[in-house]
Structure 1
Amino acid sequence: MVIACKQVWEYISAYLDNNLKASERNKVQLHLEHCEICSAVLDSTRNILILTADERVFELPLGFGERLHVRLEEEIQRLA
């Protein structure tokens, strides 16, 4: 069974935490082997976790959160 990018994105956190059922994990892994976008999302999420795992504080540029949400919504709509 093929899994869509949008589904993979919903599973990213559980995938990284190793909290997926074996069948779901296998679907995500198979998708990641063939999808550069989702592999990049996985790598980015992993990097964010690494960066935020220590006690350093990062100040984001003004308006970053709003721009990020707009961009993510555009991508989700494009892929839907």
Structure 2
Amino acid sequence: MVLECKHVWDHISDYLDHSLDPEMLALVEKHLEHCELCSAILDSTRNILILTADDRVFELPVAYSERLHARLDDELGLASDHDG
């Protein structure tokens, strides 16, 4: 049996939790050896788990939130202009 990417993605969480049965584990690992996309998704998922488990708090620069919302408003405004 050969796994497609979408099947590997369904098992990423169990792979990281070390809860795959040995047969599925072997199939996922074989796929990951040759698929850069799935390997990147695995690394990204692992990084997200590490970051969300980190209880440190980071202070944002002054007025960052306002600049972010202004930029989002500008971008969304431009996107709607192209739709009509």
Same fold (TM over 0.5): yes
* Matching residue's letter, 1:5: C
* Matching residue's letter, 1:38: C
Query: Which residue of the partner structure matches residue 51 of structure 2?
Result: 51
Max Rg structure: 2
Moved >6 Å (runs of 4+): none
Query: Which residue of the partner structure matches residue 41 of structure 2?
Result: 41
How many angstroms apart in 1 are the aligned matches of 2:57 and 2:5? Answer: 31
Higher relative contact order (CA 8 A, sep 6+): 1
Query: Which residue of the partner structure matches residue 13 of structure 2?
Result: 13
Query: Which residue of the partner structure matches residue 82 of structure 2?
Result: none
Identical columns (%)? 62
Structure 2 residues without counterparts, runs of 5 or longer = 59-67, 73-84
* Matching residue's letter, 1:2: V
Q: What is the Cα deviation at residue 57 of structure 1?
A: 5.5
Query: Which residue of the partner structure matches residue 2 of structure 1?
Result: 2
Q: What is the Cα deviation at residue 55 of structure 1?
A: 1.5
* Matching residue's letter, 2:48: I
Structure 1 residues without counterparts, runs of 5 or longer = 64-80
Q: What is the Cα deviation at residue 56 of structure 1?
A: 3.6
